[in-house]
Amino acid sequence: MTYKDLAEIKEIAKIMVKEERQPHVEGTAKFAKALAKIHNLDQTIAEFMGYSHDLFRDIKYDKLFKISQVYSIEITLHDKTNPILLHGKVAAEFVKRRFKIYDVDILSGIAYHTSGYKDFGIYGKVLFLADSLEETRTYPNVNELRKLAFKDIDIAYFEVLRNKIIYALSRDLLILPESVESWNSLIFKKKGGI
Ligand SMILES: [Fe+2]
Ligand SMILES: [Fe+2]
């Protein structure tokens, strides 16, 4: 990951993300970078992931389906009923092809930034946290979760995932299978499983 890649993804985000979403994308990149700094990770990678995660968030559904087909992305039943779910997977495939990034941690992080993912690496968790905790997000316990993210990425990931699941439950929203899988895998580990 080079500084040139970062400059390029910033430009692409400016073009592809709609105006109202720009503060969220900038906020995510900024938060991811700050998390990377405090946890001694690569700040360029974290910032790059922030700028790339929602590139396809504002693309019309029929286009999203078409690009997914071109990219040979498997379209699940959930994606069919809720096409916006594809935006992460498409963004991951896009950066893979355009920037020749093959790092699984970076790619799965971008692909599953909404749901969480049981096999997330550290950068996946950083992006997931940044997406939920960046400065424009407002919900009751966001400040406590922000503090937690600067202290411990793994504990914060667990708590933000919990928060997302509770939110979905309380509003009759779909709980994504990847979220459930990630949650169960963490609970299993907590109870002494592998
Ligand atoms: Fe997103
Ligand atoms: Fe986002």
Which ligand is closest in space to the CA of residue 89?
Answer: 1
End-to-end CA distance of the chain: 33
Which ligand is closest in space to the CA of residue 92?
Answer: 1
More confident residue, 192 or 104: 104
Per-residue pLDDT at 81? 87
Per-residue pLDDT at 126? 98
Closest CA to 49 of 117, 96, 115: 96
Query: What spacing in Å lies between the alpha carbon of 24 and ligand 2's midpoint?
Result: 7
Whole domain around residue 109: which residue ranges?
3-190
* pTM of this structure: 0.96
**If pLDDT is split at 50, 70 and 90, which confidence band does 192 have?**
confident
Other residues' Cβ atoms within 10 Å of the Cβ of residue 64 = 23
**If pLDDT is split at 50, 70 and 90, which confidence band does 194 have?**
low
What is the domain-level CATH number for residue 14?
1.10.3210.10
- For residues 116, 118, 124, 125, the Cα torsion angle rounded to the nearest 10 degrees is 70
Query: What spacing in Å lies between the alpha carbon of 58 and ligand 2's midpoint?
Result: 11
Query: What spacing in Å lies between the alpha carbon of 91 and ligand 1's midpoint?
Result: 9
Query: What spacing in Å lies between the alpha carbon of 72 and ligand 2's midpoint?
Result: 23
Which of 31-40, 142-151, 183-192 comes out lowest in average pLDDT?
A: 183-192
Tell me the pLDDT tens digit for each residue of 52-80: 999 999 999 999 999 999 999 999 988 98
- Domain count for the chain, please give it: 1
**If pLDDT is split at 50, 70 and 90, which confidence band does 158 have?**
very high
Query: Are the beta carbons of 54 and 21 closer than 8 angstroms?
Result: yes
Across 120-130, average pLDDT: 98
Query: What spacing in Å lies between the alpha carbon of 162 and ligand 2's midpoint?
Result: 18
Query: Are the beta carbons of 86 and 56 closer than 8 angstroms?
Result: yes
Rounded to whole angstroms, how far apart are CA atoms 67 and 132?
A: 26
Which ligand is closest in space to the CA of residue 114?
Answer: 1
Percent of the chain with pLDDT over 90: 92
Which ligand is closest in space to the CA of residue 25?
Answer: 2
Rounded to whole angstroms, how far apart are CA atoms 185 and 164?
A: 16
Per-residue pLDDT at 77? 87
Across 172-178, average pLDDT: 93
Which ligand is closest in space to the CA of residue 88?
Answer: 1
Query: What spacing in Å lies between the alpha carbon of 194 and ligand 1's midpoint?
Result: 30
Percent of the chain with pLDDT over 70: 99
